[in-house]
Each structure stands twice: as structure tokens, then as C-alpha cells.
Chains A and B, each alone.
Chain A
Amino acid sequence: MYGKGLRTLSISTAAVMAVALGMAFFYAPLEAEQGFLQKIFYVHVPLAIVALCGFVVGGLLAIQHLRTRDPRWDMRSYVTIHMSLIFAVGTLITGSIWAKGSWGHWWVWSEPTLVSFLIVFLLYATYQPLRFAIEDPERQARYASVFAITAGAFVPMNFIAVRLSTAYLHPRVLGSTSNLPPQMALTFLVSLLGIALLFATLCKYELTAKHARSQLRALRRRLAEQDAGVQTVRRARSAAPADYEQQRGGRSPATQPQRDPGRPSASPQPSLSTQSVGRPGA
């Protein structure tokens, strides 16, 4: 179950985030050039790293989905990319605030790191509309996985391309962390851990919520089927992956033939006690 370990993870996240916040303001020294403004570094950079890693992980989970055809991998990939997008929004906003304080501008188009991150963000912003545009759940999952893999491969390529570019206005973090004073480096690593834990916790919450809704829908569908003998629950168009049971059953309700409620069906529906109501693998 997705809810397993959620409490421990939540408490760990809150604790590490609190420690990171305390270290950023009371332990890490003031930076010589930027002074107090550099404290944004401890929230902006971890957000960016976790968001980009999330996009790559979403692609890896999509590979697993295409390999196994198990809709649960599609759900995980969807949730990871969804959460990465939220973190990317946070990165862009905190980055803009930092740019305004540091450079006097909310956005600098000549800065390759900023623009490349925006490109990645806009690329992934099309992920949800792509899913929404496809009604058939199986096709939706397959196409979304292909997108996630392609875009996921683009992220490290984009990162490398930016680092190979000559304009080094934006501060380098990865690779120059060793140049940071030990207090700053430690604070940065704790902040990174805190943001990564926050990402994992929110993903787990999202998966647990989606799983619970999926189970509820499955139960409602079974009850409706048992009462009327007719498939009455249709799936509304959604960008989110379809219910596990619906996908794993092989056919979506929209494609299932309607049966005459007065006539017994050729293959009688098994009773609820012999079906898995609560499990995704029904």
C-alpha cells in the first residue's frame, strides 16, 4: 500500500526541513558578495535540483511502464512529473526573486541557465494537456510514457549543454560545492535532503490519495453492477491515469458492451466476495 510509512516520512521531512531552515539562518555564514540575499540559495537550488531529478525519475518510471504495461508505473510517473512541475514553479518564482534582489531584474533572457530551465518547464507543461487530449486510458498511458521518456532524456542533455556554454553569469553549484565553506556546503546538503524528502512525501500523499479514490470508484462500480447488471459508471475525461482496476481489467467502461438488464449475461458476474474490490490488481 502507498500509505505505508507515510507517517514516518512526514515526520522526517518536517524535522529535516526545520533543521535546514535553522542552519540556513543561524549556522551558515553570510556570503561575502551577496550578503543576506544569498540565503535564497538554500531554497532555490535544492528546488531546482529536485525538480530536474524528478523529471528524469518520471522518465525512468515511464520506461518501467512500457516494459511491464502495469498501469501503476504510469501512475507513479504521472505523480512524479506532476510534483516536479510544482517544484519547478517554486524554482522559477524563487529564482526570479533572487534575480530581482541580486541583478535588479525579475528575469534575464541572456542567462542560459534561466532560459534553459524555462524551456524544460514549458516542455513539461504540455504533459498534462497531452494526457487530457487522449480519452482512451491505455493509449493515454502509452503516449504519456513515450513523452516522459523523451523529455526525461532531454533534461540531462539540456543541463550539459548549458554547462558547456561560455556565458558563466549564473553561479555554478554542482561541481563548485567543494569551493563552498564547510558550513555553507553542509547547510546546502541538509536543505537538499529536506527538499528531496518533501518531494518524496508529497508524491506518496498523492499516490495514496489516488489509490484510495481508485478503490472507492471500483467499489461503487461493483455495487452498481450488482444492483442493475448494467455498466453505469463511465470515466470522465481526465489527465490523471485511469483507475487501476479499469485499466488492468483490459477494457474501459466506455468500450464495454451494454447488456440488457432483463436478460442474464452469457458470463455471469462473479459475486463481490470472489472479486478484489480493494486491490488495484483486480
Chain B
Amino acid sequence: MMSLLPLGELPALPLHEAGKYVAGAYVVLFLLVLIYVAIMAVRLGRVERELGELLELSSQRPAPPSDTLDLGRPPAAPVGAPSE
């Protein structure tokens, strides 16, 4: 019977029935953001772990000569590199 009615002429739902739909829609948005933040947290953990591995690797290396890598210093920008 419902499908025979023109969709635009359906009556408004009472508040107690509409509430669950409205809550559902807003919860969907909240969950999307929450899932995204959780994924970002996992990625951040991975980056942190990789960074720890690299720091460990660099600490195991012999002391570099003066013209090689210094991890404590920011690297020199190459000539002509576009800046972000």
C-alpha cells in the first residue's frame, strides 16, 4: 500500500519514530570520522615503529665522517628543489 502512494505525499513521522532515523544518520557521520581516526592511529603507530627501527639502525652504524649523514640535523635542500 505504501508503495502506491506518491512519495511526496507521505505524512511526517512522529518525533519518537523519526528520532531513530535522525540519530542513525548522525551516528553514521560520527562513525565514519571515528573509523578514519582509528586508521590514522594505526598508520601513525607504523610510522613511529619504522622511525624507531631507523634510529636503532643509525645508532649501530660507526660514527660517520663529517661529510656524511647527521640524523640530528635537517638535511640540506637540493638546489632547484621545489618548496612545498
Measured CB to CB, the residues of A under 8 A from B are: 1-2, 21, 31-37, 39-40, 43-44, 47, 70, 72, 86, 89-90, 93-94, 97-98, 100-105, 108, 111, 169, 198, 202, 205, 209, 212-213, 216, 219-220, 222-223, 226, 271-282
CA distance A273 to B28 in the complex (A): 49
A276: B residues at CB distance < 8 A: 75-78, 81
B40: A residues at CB distance < 8 A: 205, 209
A90: B residues at CB distance < 8 A: 28-29, 32
A278: B residues at CB distance < 8 A: 74-75
Q: Is the interface of B mostly helix, strand, loop or mixed?
A: helix
**Of A33, A108, A223, which one neighbours B54 at CB under 8 angstroms?**
A223
List the 9 shortest-distance A-B pairs measured between CB atoms, nearest first.
A281-B81, A101-B21, A272-B69, A35-B12, A37-B18, A36-B18, A94-B25, A40-B25, A276-B78
Q: Is the interface of A mostly helix, strand, loop or mixed?
A: helix
**Of A32, A36, A104, A280, which one neighbours B19 at CB under 8 angstroms?**
A36
Taking the nearest CB of chain B, how far is it from the CB of A279, in angstroms? 6
Given A2-B84, A101-B21, A273-B69, check contact A37 B78 (CB 8 Å): no
Measured CB to CB, the residues of B under 8 A from A are: 2-3, 7-8, 10, 12-15, 17-19, 21-22, 24-26, 28-29, 32-33, 36, 40, 43-44, 46-47, 50-51, 54, 57-58, 67-70, 74-78, 81-84
Q: Which residue of B lies closest to A213 (CB)?
A: B47
Contact, CB under 8 Å: B76 / A198: no
A2: B residues at CB distance < 8 A: 84
Contact, CB under 8 Å: B10 / A102: yes
Q: List 14 A-B contacts (CB under 8 A).
A: A37-B13, A70-B82, A90-B29, A93-B28, A94-B25, A98-B25, A101-B18, A271-B67, A271-B69, A272-B69, A273-B67, A276-B78, A278-B75, A279-B77
A273: B residues at CB distance < 8 A: 67-70, 75-76
**Of B3, B22, B58, B84, which one neighbours A40 at CB under 8 angstroms?**
B22
Q: Which residue of B lies closest to A281 (CB)?
A: B81
B8: A residues at CB distance < 8 A: 169
